[in-house]
C-alpha cells in the first residue's frame, strides 16, 4: 500500500498528538533495527507460534546466502529484549520506557487498504519495570491514552476492555484493547496494550539486581497503534459522499471556495477569499483556498466533501457586497447545514469557525456513539447471540465458558470475543452459553 | 545499529527543522512500500549496477518461497516511478513534489555507527517536472536547503558542489553534494540532491501530456539526508571530553547541576534550581535539572560534558545567598568558559542563557570553518596533491582529466573527488594532472 499525502497527513496528526502524550507519560523515542535474527523469534514459544505464519524472511544479503535468516520485524519484543538484557543491570535503570515509530511487516493474504496490509506504519511502546504492579499500571495507562485519543481526537467511541485468552497477543500475559464499530458494524481492533508479564524476560534472561542485591526478571509491557487507525476513522465517519474527518485530525479543516461568474466580480471575490484565508491561518486553523480556475464551484463542493473537509466557506459577489460569507458543515448535508450571512469581520468569523469545528467534532462523536449503542444487543442465550450477529450487530452477554466454546461461536457465527469491557453491568451474571455463574459480560462481533 | 533516545532526539531535531523547510518549498510527505519487486530495480541499467551488490532480498513470505524476489529498499526511485507512471497523466499534475521519512537498507560489510550502517533512517524527496529547467532548479533548491541547514543548525561549514561523473548517484544525470570535514579531516558526504534527468522516466515510461497534447517523459529529482548526519555532527564538533552539540540541535541545551554539602543547604539549592528550570522551560529552552543524589556534582559535570550539552548552570548555597548562578560553556573548557554571579533574576537570566546559546552556536561554526580552511591546500601538481593527502588534508586544484586519471588518484592516494565546488576561484585554470585547460577546480580528499 502506498499512503498518499492526504492520508499520510492524517497519520501525521495522529503522530503529533500521541508523541506529546507519550513524552508526557515519561517515554523516549528511539529506533531498533528491523532485521531480527530468526533465532530471537524462536525464543518465546507462543510468540513464534503466533507470528511464524506471517513472516517475511531475508535470506540473501550483499549477493550471498545468509547463514542465519533474518526476519523483517512483525513487532519488536524479541530484539527489544535482546537489547534490554544488555542495558539493564540494576533497579536504578528501571522503569525503562521507550517508544519507536516504525514500519512493520506481516505477510497477509487478504489485504484491505489501511486495515490489513503487508507493511504498515505504527508506534510500538516497550517498557521494563521492577514489579508486576508497575507493569500492570503502565499497560492500563497506555490503553487509557489510546481511549482518550479515540474519543477526543478521532471522535470514535471505542469500547475498552480485556481480550479473551484466545485473542491475547502472542507472548502476552494479558492484552487490553480498544474496539471500534465501523459503519458496516464490523468491529475494528484499533489499539492494544499488553502486559507481557515475565514471558519475554524469562525467554531472554532479562534480569536486574534489586535493592537487596537479588537478581530478578523484569516485568514488561508493549502497546501499539498503527496506520490501521486511519482506516478506522474513514470507516467510522464516512458516508456515501466520501470521508467525513473529525476536525481535530483533519489535514484541512476549512476549505474556501470563491464563486464568480463575470470577470469584473473575480477580483473582489478572490481578494475577500484571500483575506479570509489569512485570517484563519493566523488563527491556527488548517485552511485551504481552492482558487483553481479549471473546475467549477459545484465540482469543488463535491470534491472537498469527498475528502471529508469539515467546513466549507463560500464567497460570492453578494457576500463581498454584504461583507459576509456562507459556512457549510460537512456533517449536515444540504440547506440545514448552511449558515448564510456570517460576518467576515475577523472578530466574528474566527470565533464562528472555531466554534463550528468544535460542534462538528462533538456531533461526530455523538452520532457514532448513538450508532454504536443502537447496534449492541444484550443477549442471555446463544440463540439470541446468533440472531444479533446474523443481523450484523454486536452481542453483549455474560460469559464464563471455555476456549473451546469460544471457538465454536467463531465457527458457527463468525463472531469473536472482542473484549470483556472495563465498563461492566452490576449484579449477578449467568453465562449465556453454559448457565454457570459468570464474572463478566463479553462483547462478541464479526471483525476486520 | 540501535539508535538510543539521546541520539534519536538529535535526529528528531533534524526532522523538525527539515519538515518545515520541505513543506515551505511545496513538498508533501507520503509513504511508499519498502519491498520492491526485483524486476523494478533491473529497469534502469546504471541503477541496478550501482545497487545490486548492496541489496537485501526477501525470498520467503508467509512460509512460502516467493515467485519474485523482493528487494528491501536501498532507495525508492524505482517504486516511485512505478507509481508516478500511474498517477501522472497531464501537465496539470506537475510539478509533483513529495518526500518520505523512511528506513533504508544497504548491505554493508564494514559498518561504523551512524556513518555506515546496514539499515539507516533518512528522508528521500522525489519530484517530477515538465521541463529540465524546473528539475535543475529543484535539485539546486534542495541542496541549498541542506547547505543552510548544515551551516545554520548544525554549525557545519559544508562545501557544496557537483559530484564527478564517477561519483554521481547510480541513475542520476547530475549529483549535487554537501561535503563536511570531520575532526580527523576525512570528508563526509552529508547530503545529496540528484537531477535524475529522464533516466528513470524513460526506463519506466513515465509520461505526461503537455499543453499541446504531446506525450513527453517527465524530468525528475531526488534528494536525501540521513541519520549519517548525526554522525557528522558528532565527528565535526566532538573533542576528547565527548560530544559538543550545536545548541539549535541539542536535545538538552542547558543542564542545571545543584550543589550542596550539608543537609540544611539542600532545600534552598533545590528550590533555586527548580525555579531556574521552570524559568528556562517557559522561555522555550530545552533544559534538564539533574538533581539525582546517586552521583556527585563532579561526576555530573563530566557526564553532561560527554553528552555535549552546550551550557551548564551550577547552583550552590553561596549562589542562592547572592541570588545568582554560575554558567559554564561546553565549548570553552575550564575557567575561561565560566561566568560567576549571573543574576537569577528572570529578566536577566533568560536573556543571558539565550545569548550564550547563540554565542556557542556561532563559535562552533567559526571554529569548524577555521579548521576546515586551514586543512584545504591549493595544489597545482599531482605531487602537491599527494603531499597534501598524505598529511591528511584536502587538496583543491584545477581538474579536467579523465575518469581513468580520477581512479588512478584514488588507487594511489586513497582520495576521491569530493566535488567541484560551486564557489570557484576566478581566472584561467590549468589541470594539475594533464596540463590542459580546466574549467573548474575539484576538491580531493579521503572520505568515510
CA distance A134 to A230: 31
Name every chain A residue with its beta carbon within 8 A of the beta carbon of B52: 63
Residue-level pLDDT at A372: 98
What's the pLDDT tens digit per position in B128-146?
999 999 999 999 999 999 9
3 state DSSP class of B81:
helix
Which of A6, A13, A31 is the best residue to mutate to test the B interface, defined by the most B CB atoms within 10 Å of its own CB? A31
pLDDT band for B438, please (50, 70, 90 cuts): very high
- Give mean pLDDT, residues B52-64: 95
Query: Has residue B48 got a pLDDT over 90?
Result: no
Residue-level pLDDT at B45: 84
pLDDT band for A44, please (50, 70, 90 cuts): confident
Under an 8 A CB cutoff, do A98 and B58 touch?
no
| Chain A residue whose CA is closest to B3 | A31
Under an 8 A CB cutoff, do B31 and A70 touch?
no
pLDDT band for A48, please (50, 70, 90 cuts): confident
Task: Yes or no: say if A152 and A248 are a contact pair by the CB < 8 Å rule.
Answer: yes
B289 backbone dihedrals φ, ψ, rounded to 5°: -95, 115
Residue-level pLDDT at B444: 98
Under an 8 A CB cutoff, do B34 and A103 touch?
yes
Residue A387 in contact with partner chain B when CB distance is under 8 A: no
* Residue A402 half-sphere exposure toward CB, CA atoms < 13 A: 3
Sign, Cα dihedral of A406, A409, A415, A421: negative
Residue-level pLDDT at B9: 98
Under an 8 A CB cutoff, do B63 and A72 touch?
no
| Residues near A103 by beta carbon (within 8 Å), at least 6 away in sequence | A34, A119, A120, A121, A122, B34, B102, B103
- Give mean pLDDT, residues B52-73: 95
Under an 8 A CB cutoff, do B54 and A62 touch?
yes
Name every chain B residue with its beta carbon within 8 A of the beta carbon of A54: 62
Query: Has residue A31 got a pLDDT over 90?
Result: yes
Stretch among A47-51, A392-396, B93-97, B386-390 having the lowest mean pLDDT: A47-51
Residue-level pLDDT at B298: 96
| Chain B residue whose CA is closest to A6 | B30
pLDDT band for A45, please (50, 70, 90 cuts): confident
3 state DSSP class of A221:
strand
3 state DSSP class of A144:
helix
Name every chain A residue with its beta carbon within 8 A of the beta carbon of B9: 28-29
Tell me the whole-structure pTM to 2 decimals.
Answer: 0.95
3 state DSSP class of B13:
helix
pLDDT band for A348, please (50, 70, 90 cuts): very high
CA distance B101 to A344: 40
A254 backbone dihedrals φ, ψ, rounded to 5°: -135, 130
Residue-level pLDDT at B294: 86
Whose cell is 498503527? That residue is: A226
Name every chain B residue with its beta carbon within 8 A of the beta carbon of A90: none
Q: DSSP string covering A72-137, please?
A: EPS--HHHHHHHHHHH--BGGG-SEEEEEEEEEE---SS-BTTTB-SEEEEEEEEEEESSHHHHHH
What's the pLDDT tens digit per position in B327-347?
999 999 999 999 999 999 999
Residue A4 in contact with partner chain B when CB distance is under 8 A: yes
Query: Has residue B427 got a pLDDT over 90?
Result: yes
pLDDT band for A390, please (50, 70, 90 cuts): very high
| Chain A residue whose CA is closest to B61 | A56
Under an 8 A CB cutoff, do A29 and B35 touch?
no
Task: Yes or no: say if A420 and A441 are a contact pair by the CB < 8 Å rule.
Answer: yes
Residue-level pLDDT at A152: 98
Q: Do the strands A394-398 and A376-378 form a parallel or antiparallel pair, or are they unpaired?
A: parallel
* Residue A364 half-sphere exposure toward CB, CA atoms < 13 A: 33
- Give mean pLDDT, residues A155-160: 98
% of chain B at pLDDT higher than 70: 100
Q: Do the strands A119-129 and B254-258 form a parallel or antiparallel pair, or are they unpaired?
A: unpaired
Query: Has residue A178 got a pLDDT over 90?
Result: yes
Name every chain B residue with its beta carbon within 8 A of the beta carbon of A8: 28-31
If residue A445 lies in a helix (H) or strand (E), which one and from where to where?
A: strand A441-445
Under an 8 A CB cutoff, do A61 and B33 touch?
no
pLDDT band for B400, please (50, 70, 90 cuts): very high
CA distance A308 to A243: 4
Sign, Cα dihedral of A70, A72, A75, A80: positive
Residue-level pLDDT at A50: 87
| CA B448 to chain CA mean position, Å | 13
CA distance A418 to A371: 18
If residue B5 lies in a helix (H) or strand (E), which one and from where to where?
A: helix B5-24
Name every chain A residue with its beta carbon within 8 A of the beta carbon of B4: 30
From A309, A314, A337, select the one nearest A326 (Cα to Cα): A314
Residue-level pLDDT at A47: 84
Which ipTM was obtained for this model? 0.95
Amino acid at each position: 500500500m502506498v499512503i498518499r499525502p492526504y492520508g499520510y497527513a492524517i497519520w501525521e496528526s495522529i503522530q503529533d498528538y500521541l508523541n506529546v502524550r507519550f513524552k508526557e507519560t515519561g517515554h523516549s523515542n528511539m529506533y531498533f533495527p528491523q532485521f531480527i535474527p530468526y533465532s530471537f523469534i524462536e525464543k518465546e514459544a507462543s510468540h513464534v507460534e503466533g507470528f511464524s505464519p506471517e513472516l517475511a524472511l531475508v535470506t540473501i544479503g550483499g549477493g550471498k546466502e545468509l547463514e542465519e535468516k533474518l526476519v523483517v520485524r512483525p513487532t519488536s519484543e524479541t530484539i527489544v529484549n535482546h537489547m534490554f538484557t544488555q542495558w539493564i543491570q540494576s533497579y536504578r535503570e528501571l522503569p525503562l520506557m521507550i517508544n519507536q515509530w516504525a514500519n512493520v511487516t506481516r505477510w497477509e493474504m487478504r489485504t484491505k487498504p489501511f486495515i490489513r496490509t503487508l507493511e504498515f506504519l505504527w508506534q510500538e511502546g516497550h517498557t521494563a519495570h521492577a514489579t508486576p504492579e508497575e507493569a500492570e499500571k503502565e499497560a492500563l495507562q497506555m490503553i487509557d491514552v489510546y481511549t482518550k485519543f479515540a474519543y477526543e481526537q478521532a471522535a470514535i467511541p471505542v469500547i475498552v476492555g480485556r481480550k479473551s485468552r484466545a485473542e491475547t497477543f502472542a507472548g502476552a500475559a494479558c492484552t487490553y484493547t480498544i474496539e471500534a464499530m465501523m459503519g458496516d458494524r464490523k468491529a475494528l481492533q484499533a489499539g492494544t496494550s499488553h502486559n507481557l508479564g515475565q514471558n519475554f524476560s524469562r525467554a531472554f534472561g532479562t534480569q536486574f539486581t534489586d535493592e537487596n542485591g537479588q537478581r530478578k526478571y523484569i516485568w514488561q509491557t508493549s502497546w501499539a497503534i498503527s496506520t490501521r487507525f486511519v482506516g478506522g476513522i474513514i470507516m467510522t465517519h464516512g458516508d456515501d459522499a466520501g470521508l467525513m474527518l473529525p476536525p481535530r485530525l483533519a489535514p484541512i479543516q476549512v476549505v474556501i471556495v470563491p464563486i464568480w461568474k463575470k470577470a469584473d466580480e473575480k477580483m473582489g471575490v478572490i481578494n475577500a477569499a484571500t483575506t479570509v484565508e489569512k485570517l484563519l491561518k493566523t488563527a491556527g486553523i488548517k485552511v485551504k483556498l481552492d482558487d483553481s480556475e479549471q473546475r467549477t464551484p459545484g465540482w469543488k463542493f463535491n470534491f472537498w466533501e469527498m475528502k471529508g473537509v469539515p467546513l466549507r466557506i463560500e464567497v460570492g459577489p453578494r457576500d463581498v457586497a454584504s461583507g459576509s460569507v456562507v459556512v457549510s458543515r460537512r456533517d449536515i448535508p444540504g440547506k440545514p447545514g448552511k449558515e448564510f450571512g456570517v460576518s467576515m469581520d475577523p472578530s466574528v468569523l474566527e470565533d464562528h469557525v472555531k466554534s463550528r469545528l468544535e460542534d462538528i467534532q462533538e456531533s461526530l462523536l455523538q452520532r457514532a456513539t448513538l450508532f454504536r449503542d443502537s447496534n449492541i444487543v444484550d443477549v442471555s442465550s446463544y440463540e439470541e447471540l446468533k440472531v444479533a450477529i446474523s443481523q450484523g450487530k454486536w452481542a453483549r452477554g455474560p460469559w464464563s465458558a471455555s476456549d473451546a466454546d469460544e471457538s465454536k461461536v467463531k465457527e458457527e457465527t463468525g463472531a469473536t470475543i472482542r473484549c470483556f469491557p472495563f465498563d461492566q453491568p452490576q449484579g449477578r451474571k449467568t453465562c449465556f452459553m453454559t448457565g454457570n455463574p459468570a464474572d463478566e459480560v463479553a462483547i462478541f462481533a464479526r471483525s476486520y
